[in-house]
Chain A
Amino acid sequence: DTGVSQNPRHKITKRGQNVTFRCDPISEHNRLYWYRQTLGQGPEFLTYFQNEAQLEKSRLLSDRFSAERPKGSFSTLEIQRTEQGDSAMYLCASSLSISPYEQYFGPGTRLTVT
């Protein structure tokens, strides 16, 4: 399978714990995006990388959130001191910078904070 993959697919954690999600983009894609989606809503942009550089962060990305893409390949999204409001689907997408319209999404990581 050469699509975008995300792990884990589901994560249940207690409030206050830290969690980390991983995204592996399509191998030749140099852009990687993180989105958050709550029930009944469309995805909301969080941040994106071009290669290893994080070029934009949404205001939704509070200080408790951090994303990295150290080698310009896979990316991690960490949430520290999780809150119940963090419960959502976290989607990763990737694209080529020459065709940014063509974003391919991964299956998402469903986070539940209890």
Chain B
Amino acid sequence: KNQVEQSPQSLIILEGKNCTLQCNYTVSPFSNLRWYKQDTGRGPVSLTIMTFSENTKSNGRYTATLDADTKQSSLHITASQLSDSASYICVVGGSNDYKLSFGAGTTVTVRA
């Protein structure tokens, strides 16, 4: 059972435009939520991490939000660049501090 659902599965945007990715989770109890960026053929790289008490976290042009009540998170990419083309994975940590629940990812393609 997949406890982390991401949408959309993929999207295409023009360079310079903004986009928002969604993540819904059912992991309980909830400990923390991370967004990772994964370039094709590479390992995931952490963008942001939030605990249940945090509502928003920014990392440059990436801004993540978290609503622990509705169990939803979003990742907003501002002024997209060609290098933003990648898969963005939502990862939720629960009661086990080592076991993470991964979403399937949203593939973002930025076109010139």
Contacts and interface: CB of A to CB of B under 8 A. Distances in A.
Interface string B73-104: 00000000000000001010100011110111
A108 B43 contact: yes
Contacts, number: 54
A6 B41 CA distance: 13
Contact of A42 (B32, B46, B104): B104
B42 A33 contact: no
Q: Report which residue of A41, A44, A93, A101 has the largest number of chain B beta carbons within 10 angstroms of its beta carbon.
A: A101
18 contacts: A6-B43, A40-B105, A42-B4, A42-B89, A42-B102, A43-B44, A43-B102, A45-B99, A56-B98, A91-B44, A100-B97, A100-B98, A101-B34, A103-B46, A105-B43, A105-B45, A107-B41, A107-B43
B31 interface: yes
For chain A, the bracket of interface size reads: 20 to 34
Given A42-B103, A48-B98, A108-B42, 18 more contacts: A4-B43, A40-B104, A40-B105, A42-B104, A42-B105, A43-B102, A45-B99, A55-B98, A101-B32, A101-B49, A101-B97, A103-B100, A104-B46, A105-B36, A105-B43, A107-B41, A107-B42, A108-B41
